[in-house]
Structure 1
Amino acid sequence: MSVLLEFSIFPLDKGVSVSEEVSRVIEMIDSTGIEYQLTAMGTLIETPNITEALAIVEQAAQIIHGAGCQRVYAAIKIDSRPAREHGLQGKIESIQKRLGEVNLNPGVESD
Structure 2
Amino acid sequence: MAAVLNFAIFPMDKGAHISEYVSKVIEHIKNSGFEYQLTPMGTILEAPTVKEALQVVEQSYEILEPVADRVYCVMNMDVKKNKGAGMMKAKIESIESKIGNVNK
User: TM-score per shorter chain, which class?
Assistant: over 0.9
Structure 1 CA distance for aligned equivalents of residues 20 and 59 of structure 2: 16
Q: 1:9 aligns to what?
A: 9
Corresponding letter in the other structure for 1:7:
F
Q: Quick check: 1:94 aligned with 2:94? A: yes
1:13 alignment partner, SS class: coil
Superposed displacement of residue 33, structure 1: 1.0
In structure 1, the gaps of 5 or more residues are 105-111
Percent identical: 46
Structure 1 CA distance for aligned equivalents of residues 29 and 101 of structure 2: 27
Structure 1 CA distance for aligned equivalents of residues 16 and 65 of structure 2: 17
In structure 2, the gaps of 5 or more residues are none
Map Cα deviations across residues 26-60 of structure 1 (whole Å, 9 max, x no partner): 00011111000000000000001110010000000
Structure 1 CA distance for aligned equivalents of residues 83 and 29 of structure 2: 22
2:61 alignment partner, SS class: helix
Number of aligned positions between the proteins: 103
Q: Quick check: 1:55 aligned with 2:55? A: yes
Superposed displacement of residue 62, structure 1: 0.5
Q: 1:21 aligns to what?
A: 21
Q: 1:74 aligns to what?
A: 73
Map Cα deviations across residues 49-90 of structure 1 (whole Å, 9 max, x no partner): 110010000000010113x11110000101000112211111
Q: Supply the RMSD in Å over aligned alpha carbons.
A: 0.9
Q: 1:103 aligns to what?
A: 103
**TM-score (ref. length: structure 2):** 0.95
